[in-house]
Structure 1
Amino acid sequence: MKLSFFKKLFLVFICSFFSGKAIAQSNHILWYNQSADFFEESLVLGNGKMGATVFGGVNLDKIYLNDITLWSGEPVNANMNPEAYKNIPAIREALKNENYKLADELNKKIQGKNSESYAPLGTMEINSHHSGKASNYYRELDISNAISKVSYEINGVKFTREYFVSAPDQIMIIKLTSSQKGALNFDINSNSLLKFKTETKNNVLTMNGFAPIHENPGYQVVPSFLLEKERGTRFTTLMKIKNTDGTVVNSDTSLGLKNGTEALIYVSIATSFNGFDKNPATEGLNDKAIALANLNKAFLKSFDKLKQSHTADYQKFYNRVSLNLGKTTAPDLPTDERLLRYSEGKEDKNLEVLYFQYGRYLLISSSRTKGVPANLQGLWNPHLNPPWSCNYTMNINLEENYWLAENTNLSELHLPLLSFIKNLSITGKVTAKTFYGVNGWAAAHNSDIWAMTNPVGNFGKEDPSWACWNTAGAWLSTHIWEHYVFTQDKNYLKNEGYPIMKGASQFFLEWMITDKNGYLITSPSTSPENKYIAPDGFIGATMYGGTADLAMIRECFDKTIKASKVLNVDTEFRAKLETALSKFYPYQIGKKGNLQEWYFDWNDEDPKHRHQSQLFGLFPGDHITPLKTPDLASASRQTLEIKGDETTGWSKGWRINLWARLWDGNHAYKMFRELLRYVDPDGKKTEKSRRGGGTYPNLFDAHPPFQIDGNFGGAAAVAEMLVQSNENEIRLLPALPDAWESGAVKGICARGGFVISMEWSNKTVKKATIFSKNGGNTTLINGDKTKKITLKKGQKIELVW
């Protein structure tokens, strides 16, 4: 084993030496010396609406296609359970009588339908008519320009493919070349797991189809594909070849090229989705016309022109942030081997940078469609029945997708989530009235493209531990404040954000009740997906005064109060929130020194449970800190110690951020390394099974299976280790691990509208540049040094220590 590794290292050295390539691994390129056999080995591209999953096969190149607006279902009937709220008094009475078993059963009456499912649009296949064995195979994704490439040689002829998905032109481009004139022969076809038909006409390959109309209980799509014209979202895929030589050929269901040297394939897709409240069949967009218009416009442009506008558009986001974590001695290996090597504990600082930037790449690629944020799998789903419906799980996963939006300088990419929250606030008003009997708006555990807000559970058939949670509105509304406090966009706060925050607060103001001691609590209450053990041994979920509820509502009220002060509005409503906050049931520290999850100091059914929702006030909230609330911070640390470090991908991403907020950089880094533990593709059979949470060969997060939130949470945590901020101060290197002793970062954002660049060595900041987008004051903290700063709009200051 050792011998083969050193042989490989020697070969890499020789190849690098003679090619003039430096022996250093890349911090922006994923590369492999074989094609992908599994989804978790593929390379993904996207423009925030259209997604492509490229396998890069030699004779058969398979490309999964997705459109972020293609979901099952149609606009939700928010009034699905109009008298559910009438059950609330009985649940509260059962809880008051400490009859938790009855409360659990009654809580099931506060349930509605399950979410709809994100659908796989189709699969494109490029069949190359090669004779002979391929050699010198190479496949890459360059995340600095969002372009993927494949190259190989057969019988002395070099073949290349280049792929990108353009946001400006709403088109996918694939360029195929051969080094020998006339050696390029291929045909393309497409198919779908959905109801579809294909035809070739005027040298355009067309695939039309539609998504199923509803989701079945238990996350199963009903494959009945009803044929009524009034049901379901339609989709169109168009493919066309532009050739420089050779002959374009076609059959009824395929398109191809014979004896060519260079060719472009243009792929255009569109759906009839026209908003969360519009029937996509009767009020839908004209998907055929949109796909054709985008194809025709792009077809008139050259490859170089399309590539140039794609690259410029993408890099305006990507290039805002750069990261250097110091000198590295790691060799240049294919990314899968590199990940394996790193999993053995070896140093690879540029892999850590690559993982951070890959998180940013994924957000740029999957979050650019208004009202349709990145879902559980981002944008890339090949399954008819995807894991957890590929939906919006709002008790952590959807929010974690956006933790890196503001601080890694991708604020515009937060807007799909913020506009989705606005949609939720509309359907959520009906949910608040019919499920809970109060005003304001509410949202629950799951949602979908139709902005479904009801508690799920298939009308009483599912476990309250996850189905009956109703605090998503509180959590999501804090994203509005985050966007404001990072951008200082007062117009957004006034015209869109604050009314939504106020509505979320209104719901909880009316929903909360007092306990026997006069404290404000929620009842009924659950803690996301966890269960308690009552003194009589009953294992249940329904309770009152759950810590997670109160932490999220504290944060929601606090931010709504701050927003009303910024805008100088609603003094009376603000006073109600301030009074309510003063009456909240306080945090409790349990006998183990932990931050209690439940109203009473009860044990969890699973002490190492993946959710840590009771720690919300530490992160992503900010009302627990080592300085302001040392006892609560210490109890949070003890909670994390009890839970341990072994957990799933998204949960590990959250825990890394929590350790960073406790200013324990080394523990955060330990878990960051564990997040990058190599995991085999789901379907791969190997002698040495490498399963569990970690990272797949293509750097996708292994929950397992794939969930993208671990990628986003892990990337956000890197920024959190380097810079932390609130409305009044910016803390440099608050959780820097020993492993990152020297380095530099450019473009990290801080609250207050500031942008930070800095260099450090010996774990100490040597130079920092602070830029103000809008002008303002802050206090800069660097170790035990503090400096008050006042900057005008567009002003920059450089500090040297």
Structure 2
Amino acid sequence: MNSTLIKKTFLLLLLTSCYADISAQSKSILWYKQPAEFFEESLVLGNGKMGATVFGGANSDKIYLNDITLWSGEPVNANMSPEAYKNIPAIREALQNENYKLAEELNKKVQGKNSESYAPLGTLEINNSEKGKAVNYHRELDLSNAISKVSYEMAGIKYTREYFVSAPDKVMIIKLTADQKEALNFDINLKSLLQSNVEVRNNILVLRGSAPIHENAGYNVPQKYLSLKERGTRFTGLVQIKKTDGTITSSRETLTLKDATEAIIFVSVATSFNGFDKNPASEGLDDVSIALGNLNNAYAKAFDKLKESHIADYQKFFNRVNLDLGKTTAPDLPTDERLLRYADGSEDKNLEILYFNYGRYLLISSSRTLGVPANLQGLWNPHLSPPWSSNYTMNINLEENYWLAENTNLSEMHSSLLSFIKNLSVTGKITAKTFYGVDKGWAAAHNSDIWAMTNPVGQFGKEDPMWACWPMAGAWLSTHIWEHYTFSQDLDYLKKEGYPLMKGAAEFCLGWLVPDKNGNLITSPSTSPENQYKLTNGFVGATLYGGTADLAMIRECFDKTIKASKALNIDADFRKKLETALSKLYPYQIGKKGNLQEWYFDWDDNDPKHRHQSHLFGLFPGDHITPLKTPDLAEASKKTLEIKGDETTGWSKGWRINLWARLWDGNRAYKMFRELLRYVDPDGKKTEKPRRGGGTYPNLFDAHPPFQIDGNFGGAAAVAEMLVQSDENEIRLLPALPDAWSEGSVKGICARGGFEIEMSWKDKKIDKFFISSAKGGETTLIFGDEKQEIALKKGEKKSINW
């Protein structure tokens, strides 16, 4: 062999091994060498309404089915406690007298019912007749096309399964194949934990049932389900097999396919939910005909067409963003093993990208139903009594679900939340009057559900005010409306839908504020979500006046509502009221430890490392605290984070990464991002040395623990926040870039003002940069100490040199 040939062969081998590394360490595929045993190992699919949790077992495959509109309950009676507001003056008086113990007790009188629960629809089981040991097993979820696959060999036969949930065709499709003729033999059954009935009709497996009517008596108390006729949300699940060969038979509750080579299973689900204000029993949709219509339409189409339209629909969202973080030397490992290796401190840049991509995947998959946003578990809940009812927890968790909607180019997914806010404003007008004595505007509290419940929770006085008594959700949620406008520049939306909602939230805040003894405006009563103070006399409580978190949210609400009224050139008189109130709000205070005070006075925290950091709202998700505009407050925020430390729950880590990013500390943000990806064992798994705490389960689900999806969304949003930060006037590039990401590229990240960014960087310096705008506009670009003012025409894309 001559030297030239040797060189060429060596080069080819080198390129092949490099390519193997690149392809093996996928940025878009989760894969495993074994079936899922626990929920936290399963792979999830969804079209924004229907959800499927796939375990991928060889002998028996289990798939949990969900519909995002299947909840317990019925339209809420917002006027449940018409005279609750009469307790407010007595609470304020107790607080004026610094009698916090009395105020705490009285605050319980301003509580209503608890939220309803998100319900599991059913479980589909595919049981193979062949029993034996599976070899060469492989299970995966490909985020690039939202398709899951399972393959294995048994008794010399290779079996494959392909699963997806289609948004255009509104069904789940499962394709099963064997590489030898007539080797497919399986039966299917369908069951539900809810009150239901299963039967086979015309070779279609039919599951029909209804969700319960109940008020959840408490998050750790087994629910009592009442069987009442003409009450509750009905649901239907249908399963049909399309075969190429073989024979379909059925018993009363089972479909069986024998001697087939290929088969397609169609799964269709629907509920009678017809809106937050309509009785799902008497005014509900016809769930049977909806499920059957979708099944028939899909069944009539070829598999390839179904798959093609599913992929095209999904990719129009997913493909907008592409992230690369430079070279990786991580070896080819299954996702669970990758996580374990990463948790031990090893480098795996593509795992970090995979986590970011997974966050975007989960939002596309769980947030495409108007008025029904992603809940605490997104779309995927197997539990009859899910943790915290799998509800909408609005003192952080619901909002965190949507932090990535705009900046990671998924603005359409934000619509589920924005339309839900409109529903909240309806019941919230009654809540404002009856619970808080405020005649104008609307209010929402700590928890909600599909019925847009807005009252403070607590079972009418049975729960702790530290979480149950909090009326600031409207102020927080209203800022999402401005976010949507400032990213999309959709003035028509702001005028017709958004601004009236923002104004209503601001009106409530105006009516809720009272002066303190020095004439500053404060809230009274007030709490700081789920946290408690400790007085020198030993009293531990939550009820106070002038909590920093309340005032931070009101500042942000007023600021954005003022900006919205200016953008629309309307409501000058109301704007003036907001500006006046804004100038009178009790100012931020810096405590003796150099921290940003959480309480009106410089009290100690009962738990200094508490997971909530609501008083830092002005730094993130708000933007009125920044290292440049308010350096003292930014430094105090940093001190607060240092006192709290980095060890916390999953969603809280997600929030803290964003906070560190806003402080432009990329390395600290990255340290916490790595800790968010720390491997956590499935909840039910028994091991000698269990890995518990906040982090990431084997299937990349966020571990609060238990599973809560908000950490996934918060963590993905934080990656974008480390790369690009913006406000209405400027875009800051690579503001919190960690040393570990010294080279990379990103395409499709969005910035406020309606801009889209594409850039690459080397040695932490921008190499190539493009900016485009669908609607045109002006902004100031900032990279380090350099500034460039630019103006783009509608649809223009510009290259900028740094």
CA apart distance, 1:766 = 1.1
User: Which residue number corresponds to residue 518 of structure 1?
Assistant: 519
User: Which residue number corresponds to residue 432 of structure 1?
Assistant: 432
C-alpha change, 1:469 and 1:59, in structure 2 (3 Å) is same
Deviation string 1:755-801 (CA, Å, 9 cap, x unpaired) is: 00100000011111000111110000011111000001100101123
**Equivalent-residue separation in structure 2 for 1:101 and 1:452 (angstroms):** 29
User: Which residue number corresponds to residue 213 of structure 2?
Assistant: 213
CA apart distance, 1:227 = 3.5
C-alpha change, 1:475 and 1:111, in structure 2 (3 Å) is same
* Matched letter for residue 646 of structure 1: E
User: Which residue number corresponds to residue 345 of structure 1?
Assistant: 345
Deviation string 1:664-702 (CA, Å, 9 cap, x unpaired) is: 000000000000000000000011211111000000000
User: Which residue number corresponds to residue 371 of structure 1?
Assistant: 371
C-alpha change, 1:353 and 1:20, in structure 2 (3 Å) is closer
User: Which residue number corresponds to residue 468 of structure 1?
Assistant: 469
CA apart distance, 1:132 = 2.8
CA contact (8 A) 1:215 1:221 kept: no
User: Which residue number corresponds to residue 172 of structure 1?
Assistant: 172
CA apart distance, 1:224 = 4.8
CA contact (8 A) 2:377 2:390 kept: yes
Query: Does the residue aligned with 1:569 lie in a helix, a strand or coil?
Result: coil
User: Which residue number corresponds to residue 584 of structure 2?
Assistant: 583
Matched, 1:199 2:221: no
User: Which residue number corresponds to residue 8 of structure 2?
Assistant: none
Mapping for residues 66-105 of structure 1, pairs under 5 Å: 66-105=66-105
User: Which residue number corresponds to residue 32 of structure 1?
Assistant: 32
User: Which residue number corresponds to residue 725 of structure 1?
Assistant: 726
Query: Does the residue aligned with 1:188 lie in a helix, a strand or coil?
Result: strand
CA apart distance, 1:223 = 5.2
CA contact (8 A) 1:172 1:268 kept: yes
User: Which residue number corresponds to residue 446 of structure 1?
Assistant: 447
CA apart distance, 1:18 = 14
C-alpha change, 1:705 and 1:304, in structure 2 (3 Å) is same
Query: Does the residue aligned with 1:216 lie in a helix, a strand or coil?
Result: coil
* Matched letter for residue 503 of structure 1: G
Deviation string 1:509-533 (CA, Å, 9 cap, x unpaired) is: 0110000000000000000000001
TM-score by length of 2: 0.97
**Equivalent-residue separation in structure 1 for 2:134 and 2:24 (angstroms):** 27
**Equivalent-residue separation in structure 2 for 1:729 and 1:487 (angstroms):** 15
User: Which residue number corresponds to residue 388 of structure 2?
Assistant: 388
- Name the stretch that deviates more: 275-284 or 23-32: 23-32
* Matched letter for residue 315 of structure 2: Q
**Equivalent-residue separation in structure 2 for 1:266 and 1:221 (angstroms):** 37
Q: How many residues align?
A: 788
Mapping for residues 709-748 of structure 1, pairs under 5 Å: 709-748=710-749
User: Which residue number corresponds to residue 652 of structure 2?
Assistant: 651
- Name the stretch that deviates more: 405-414 or 778-787: 778-787
**Equivalent-residue separation in structure 2 for 1:525 and 1:139 (angstroms):** 50
User: Which residue number corresponds to residue 4 of structure 2?
Assistant: none
**Equivalent-residue separation in structure 2 for 1:514 and 1:457 (angstroms):** 28
User: Which residue number corresponds to residue 58 of structure 1?
Assistant: 58
C-alpha change, 1:639 and 1:220, in structure 2 (3 Å) is closer
Mapping for residues 265-664 of structure 1, pairs under 5 Å: 265-438=265-438, 439-664=440-665
> Which structure 2 residue ranges, 5 or more long, are not aligned?
1-12
User: Which residue number corresponds to residue 10 of structure 1?
Assistant: none
* Matched letter for residue 207 of structure 1: L
User: Which residue number corresponds to residue 669 of structure 2?
Assistant: 668
**Equivalent-residue separation in structure 2 for 1:520 and 1:688 (angstroms):** 52
Runs of 4+ in 1 over 6 A off after TM superposition: 16-21
**Equivalent-residue separation in structure 2 for 1:800 and 1:687 (angstroms):** 56
C-alpha change, 1:338 and 1:632, in structure 2 (3 Å) is same
* Matched letter for residue 771 of structure 1: S
Deviation string 1:261-307 (CA, Å, 9 cap, x unpaired) is: 00000000000000000000000000000000000000000110000
CA apart distance, 1:131 = 3.5
C-alpha change, 1:749 and 1:619, in structure 2 (3 Å) is same
CA contact (8 A) 1:63 1:123 kept: yes
CA contact (8 A) 1:212 1:222 kept: no
CA contact (8 A) 1:215 1:222 kept: no
CA contact (8 A) 1:374 1:401 kept: yes
Deviation string 1:479-535 (CA, Å, 9 cap, x unpaired) is: 000000000000100000000000000001011000000000000000000000123
CA contact (8 A) 1:30 1:142 kept: yes
* % same residue: 78
CA apart distance, 1:577 = 0.3
**Equivalent-residue separation in structure 2 for 1:393 and 1:794 (angstroms):** 39
* Matched letter for residue 112 of structure 1: G
CA contact (8 A) 1:134 1:153 kept: yes
CA apart distance, 1:215 = 2.7
* Matched letter for residue 680 of structure 2: V
**Equivalent-residue separation in structure 2 for 1:19 and 1:354 (angstroms):** 18
* Matched letter for residue 549 of structure 2: A
CA contact (8 A) 1:23 1:331 kept: no
User: Which residue number corresponds to residue 5 of structure 1?
Assistant: none
CA apart distance, 1:213 = 0.7
* Matched letter for residue 137 of structure 1: Y
CA contact (8 A) 1:24 1:329 kept: no
CA contact (8 A) 1:24 1:330 kept: no
**Equivalent-residue separation in structure 2 for 1:60 and 1:133 (angstroms):** 12
Deviation string 1:326-368 (CA, Å, 9 cap, x unpaired) is: 0000011000000000000000000000000000000000000
CA contact (8 A) 2:212 2:227 kept: no
**Equivalent-residue separation in structure 2 for 1:67 and 1:654 (angstroms):** 28
Query: Does the residue aligned with 2:633 lie in a helix, a strand or coil?
Result: helix
* Matched letter for residue 732 of structure 1: L
CA contact (8 A) 1:212 1:223 kept: no
CA contact (8 A) 1:70 1:119 kept: yes
CA contact (8 A) 1:610 1:651 kept: yes
> Which structure 1 residue ranges, 5 or more long, are not aligned?
1-12
**Equivalent-residue separation in structure 2 for 1:529 and 1:21 (angstroms):** 46
CA contact (8 A) 1:221 1:384 kept: no
